[in-house]
Amino acid sequence: DAGVIQSPRHEVTEMGQEVTLRCKPISGHDYLFWYRQTMMRGLELLIYFNNNVPIDDSGMPEDRFSAKMPNASFSTLKIQPSEPRDSAVYFCASSLRVEQFFGPGTRLTVL
Amino acid sequence: AQTVTQSQPEMSVQEAETVTLSCTYDTSENNYYLFWYKQPPSRQMILVIRQEAYKQQNATENRFSVNFQKAAKSFSLKISDSQLGDTAMYFCAFMKHFRNTGNQFYFGTGTSLTVIP
């Protein structure tokens, strides 16, 4: 298996622009998680899905953030409009029963 | 709510020596899972080891072993014969399955380990 796939790996954008991060979970996994990692705040859970349904989005920082999972093999995290404080590494992870498997992350820089 | 605490922000160890990273957690649950993840400079999060709370035997994976003390809610990671490639951030994590919300994960703030040649 290819593991969790995230794209793009790096994204540089300007403040106010829309940013879309993409994730393909491991085939057969029924949980998908989005995390944000910064030096200041560490690893933060933003939202997670079970069987494509959002279960807990209490970690989404504000209305500028939205996430979707239209099918079992694809999820997006969108930021609109982006702000410099959104600069971070965003991880997607998937899980079947117990362990989480992480993607390589997307490093987002908002200028 | 579950919390995971890693009280050592940074640690260092000489190559070939042994180091122990600490982790404590707070929960009222009886059945759960604990994990250690490694994040090297490449930033990829890699599962190192896992422990089921119902198992008394401590998990081991080659040079990595845990000391699981359920009553004390402690879950430390021991790395034996440290290698330069062990230099990384290490995260302790807790997972519990809840009927209404499914699997919930909680991560500690991490310990940055440097292996010195």
Pair A89, A9: CB distance under 8 Å? no
Pair A36, A46: CB distance under 8 Å? yes
Rounded to whole angstroms, how far apart are CA atoms B81 and B37?
A: 18
pLDDT at A1: 64
B62: left (phi > 0), else alpha (psi -120 to 50), else beta?
Answer: left
pLDDT at B98: 84
- Write out the two tokens for B76: 């430390």
- What are the φ/ψ torsions at residue A60 (nearest 5 degrees)? -65, 125
Of the partner residues A31, A55, A91, the one whose CB lies closest to the CB of residue B45: A91
- Write out the two tokens for A53: 């349904």
- Please list the pLDDT of chain B residue by residue as tens digits (117 residues): 679 999 999 999 999 999 999 999 999 988 999 999 999 999 999 999 999 999 989 999 999 999 999 999 999 999 999 999 999 999 999 998 888 888 889 999 999 999 999
Residues in chain A with CB shorter than 8 Å from the CB of B50 are: 98-99
Q: Out of A28-37, A95-104, B76-85, B95-104, pick the least confident.
A: B95-104
pLDDT at B48: 97
Residue A41 has pLDDT above 90, yes or no: no
Q: Encode pLDDT of A47-73 as tens digits.
A: 999 999 999 999 998 899 999 999 999
Which amino acid makes up residue A99? E
Of the partner residues B35, B101, B109, the one whose CB lies closest to the CB of residue A42: B109
Contact at CB, B44 and A33, closer than 8 angstroms: no
Query: Which of B32, B45, B54 is the best substitution to test chain A (most A C-beta atoms within 10 A)?
Result: B45
Q: What is the b/e burial string over A29-55, where b = at least 16 CB atoms within 10 angstroms of the residue's CB?
A: bbbbbbbbbeeeebbebbbbbbeeeeb
